[in-house]
Amino acid sequence: MHKLQYLDLGGIKGNALTQMPDALFELTALVTLDLSANYIHQVPQQIQQLQQLQRLVLRRNRLTQLPNAITTLQKIQVLDVSDFPHVCSGKQIIDVIT
C-alpha cells in the first residue's frame, strides 16, 4: 500500500467520512487523493506528509478553512475546494495556497 498513487474516497461512492483517516498519511506515494462529497470538517496538519501529492480534491465537504500545512505541498497542481457551503471566501483560500 505504500506505493499507492491514486486513492478515491469520494462520498458519491457511499463513503461518509467525517475526518481524514490517520492511515492516509502513511501513503506517502499518493499523487491523487479524492475526498469529495464527504462530511470532513478539517484537514489535519499531517497533510504535509503527502509530499508527492499533485491533485487534492476536497470539494463538497464541510470545511471552514484549510491548514497552512497545505502550502508545504510543493508538487500540488490541483487543489479542488469548490462547492464549500461553509467555507471562507475563495480569496482566503487562495491566500493560503499562494
Q: Which three cell numbers stand for residue 6?
A: 491514486
Report DSSP letters for the chain, one per residue: -TT--EEE--GGGT---SS--GGGGG-TT-SEEE--SS------GGGGG-TT--EEE--SS--S---GGGGG-TT--EEE----SS---HHHHHHHH-
- pTM here? 0.82
Model pLDDT for residues 84-97, shown as the tens digit of each residue: 655 554 444 544 45
Cα 1 from Cα 81, distance rounded (Å): 26
Q: Which of 34-48, 49-63, 72-86 is least confident?
A: 72-86
